[in-house]
Chain A
Amino acid sequence: MRRLLSSETRAANPVGGLRSRLFAASMLLFVGLFTLCWVALLAADVSYTNSRAFVEVLTAPETRAALWLSLWTSALSVVIGLVFAVPMGYALSRYRFPGHALVDSIVDLPILLPPLIVGLSLLVFFRTGVGQFIEGTGLRFVFQRRGIVLCQFLVSASFGIRAMKLCFDGIDVRLEHVAMTLGATRAGAFWRVALPLARRGIVAGGILIWTRAFGLFGPLMIFVGSVRKKTEVLPTMIYLEQSVGRLEVALAVALLMVALATVALVGVRLLIARER
């Protein structure tokens, strides 16, 4: 666990008396309480479900299809999200342009608003002339797997953009300036200095996009529905299972998602720690 803590965030522990220890204990109390909440919830889930439900979930072809669909759509959303997040984060950090504040606010909209609105807006958009035209070209989204990626991207990319902007804000612009005096173009300074230094920010942005995309539910139910082996992903599967009264199966799927997310997040953090 110690390895997971970066040197920047690890607190120094100077010599302290009783008051220092009480202060540390009061801070750690909240860490404990929060962790306890989640352990209690997961324990309740485990106690409510049973091994039969787990076996069913792990062996059913429907689950495997939903799992696979969840994994590849969320992975693709990460790629597309980062393709937008990196240049947008850089532009918002380095350039001042007319409408900068407006764009900055628009980026925050999907973070603030209920994701359901994205699903509704997409459904409405694809009924307009432009939307109908796009669908007419054969590039169909409504009730299609492509629609899952579109929903996930629109909801989760903002988290990546915000992370990338903060990351580039933290990189001293003088490094790029020096690169330019040494012969690099502005683009060269970006590729050879800013981007390599933003590596950790890209990983952090990718994690944020993935976690949001992987767990997305509301807009998918509206925009692509939940058709077994076609557009059903793990979150919509949980909803459908509990709606037909199979709560233990729904909980088994939920625990599968928790396990996958934990493995992925810890894995990435270990990779970052090893790189350091």
Chain B
Amino acid sequence: MIRVDGLSYSVGGFTLRDLSLHVRPGEYFVLLGPSGAGKTVFLECLCGLNPIQNGRISIAGRDVTRLEPRHRGIGYLPQDYALFPHLTVRANIRFGLRYQDHAPEAVDRQVDEVMKLAGVAHLADRLPQRLSGGEKQRVALARAAAIRPRVMLLDEPVSAVDEEARDRLCRQLKELHASTQATTLHVCHNFAEMLAVADRVAVIHQGQIVQAGTPQEVLQRPKNLLVARFVQAGNLLSGQAEADGPWLRLVSSGGITFRTPRSCAEPPQGEVAFMIRPENVHLFKLQPEFAPPGMPPGTTTLEGAVREIRDFGDAVRVAVACGPATELSVSLGKKEFKAAAVSPGDRVLLAVAPEDVHVLENA
């Protein structure tokens, strides 16, 4: 539905370099990246607000590279929403419909429908200054959706609201997406927000797409150290890699040996970075009558002492010191944590299966 090929654009000292992206019809796609990565600039290029220097943008199979914003068939929700301050909520939502060939009654009906769908009907006569952050977001979304665009471009749509409202608004975004079926490109810098809404995700950094895939792919198999850090991979280690039969043997700088299946004919050799997600590390409390469970071949087991326990509400993060230079983080659900019954200072056994060790490419 949205296809971008070799897009280049420079503004000031910032450059989008040879950026390509494909968003499938009806998909909810998230472009994830830190502040200053070029997300907003890229979205403005898709809107036609930044004239690109090279490349091609097509929407619904139509080349829109040189088309004015009004002819691109997009609904744009900018950061901070940019509601027209001199118009009421109803007039804001109605704004785009006057440019379409609808009878006045049909326009009124459509405005009412969209306001109801977005849950802002009771705010119809208010001016934007009198709205909360969440209300502004819903009005801006309704304004963009009212013109029934083929594609919705959302720039940090929930960043200006508090944590509680963010979850609710993310659900509403998905509901709106389900009801309108408009292909959606949502840019954000928040990892949890991405997980809440994305069908697929691309990570952008310094004007370039670094990795694209499903949220789980990016989460479990980040391409390089940069993406791994951004998706909060947790245990990032460095060490020496060496082929070992069906395995790639990884000896961390702390002297611990991990194994991972050899996935390619020419595996990386020498100094590499690798990661183990905290939720993939198994933890057992060492007690006198403890019998280690059966482990799959290649599993690394290591003993350590619980150094710190941090409660995040729905999960508990346990930091385990496994040697003078190695500390692994383990994420447990509340029930698992209760069953494990560990406290700081306890001796524990950690187990890491080979398929949970992921080698990162050099950035």
A interface residues with partner B (beta carbon < 8 Å): 172, 174-175, 177-185, 188, 192-193, 196-197, 199
Contacts and interface: CB of A to CB of B under 8 A. Distances in A.
B86 A197 contact: yes
Contacts of B96: 182-183
Residue among A180, A182, A197 with most chain B CB within 10 A: A182
Contacts of A175: 82, 84-85
Contacts of B76: 177-178, 181
A180 B99 contact: no
B75 A181 contact: yes
Contact of A182 (B44, B48, B49, B147): B147
Contacts of A178: 76, 78, 82, 84
A184 B95 CA distance: 9
A183 B99 contact: yes
Interface in B69-117: 69-70, 72, 74-76, 78, 82, 84-86, 95-96, 98-100
B100 A183 contact: yes
B143 interface: yes
In the A-B complex, the 6 residue pairs with the closest CB atoms: A183-B99, A182-B96, A181-B76, A180-B69, A174-B82, A181-B69
Contact of A177 (B78, B98, B100, B147): B78
Contacts of A174: 78, 82
Contacts of B48: 180-181
A197 B85 contact: yes
A196 B86 contact: yes
Contacts of B49: 177, 180-181
Given A174-B78, A177-B47, A177-B49, A182 B86 contact: no
Interface in B250-298: none
Contacts of A196: 86
Contacts of A199: 86
9 contacts: A177-B47, A177-B49, A179-B84, A180-B49, A181-B76, A181-B144, A182-B96, A193-B84, A197-B85
A180 to B, nearest CB: 4
Interface of B: 44, 47-49, 68-70, 72, 74-76, 78, 82, 84-86, 95-96, 98-100, 143-144, 147
B329 to A, nearest CB: 41
Nearest to A192: B95
Given A174-B78, A180-B69, 16 more contacts: A172-B82, A175-B82, A177-B44, A179-B84, A179-B95, A180-B48, A180-B49, A181-B48, A181-B69, A181-B76, A183-B96, A183-B98, A183-B99, A197-B84, A197-B85, A199-B86
B144 to A, nearest CB: 8
Residue among A180, A192, A196 with most chain B CB within 10 A: A180
Contacts of B95: 179, 182, 192
A184 B99 contact: yes
Residue among B48, B70, B95 with most chain A CB within 10 A: B70
A27 to B, nearest CB: 29
A172 B84 CA distance: 10
Contact of B68 (A180, A182, A197): A180
Please report whether the interface of chain A is mostly helix, strand, loop or mixed according to DSSP: helix
A184 B70 contact: yes
A177 B80 CA distance: 13
Nearest to A177: B49
A144 B44 CA distance: 54
B66 to A, nearest CB: 15
Residue among B48, B95, B147 with most chain A CB within 10 A: B95
A185 B71 CA distance: 10
Contacts of A177: 44, 47, 49, 69, 76, 78, 82
A231 to B, nearest CB: 42
B82 A183 contact: no
Residue among A174, A178, A192 with most chain B CB within 10 A: A178
A182 B144 CA distance: 7
A129 to B, nearest CB: 44
A197 B48 CA distance: 24
A67 B129 CA distance: 44
B177 to A, nearest CB: 18
B84 A183 contact: no
A174 B81 CA distance: 9
Nearest to B73: A181
B94 to A, nearest CB: 10
B147 A183 contact: yes
Contacts of B75: 181
Contacts of A179: 84, 95
A236 to B, nearest CB: 42
Given A177-B47, A177-B49, A197-B86, A183 B78 contact: no
Nearest to B98: A183
B24 to A, nearest CB: 22
A180 B82 contact: no
Contacts of B85: 175, 197
Residue among B44, B84, B100, B147 with most chain A CB within 10 A: B84
Contacts of B147: 182-183
A101 to B, nearest CB: 19
B44 to A, nearest CB: 8
Nearest to A175: B82
B82 A182 contact: no
A185 B96 CA distance: 11
Contacts of B100: 183
A186 to B, nearest CB: 8
A94 to B, nearest CB: 13
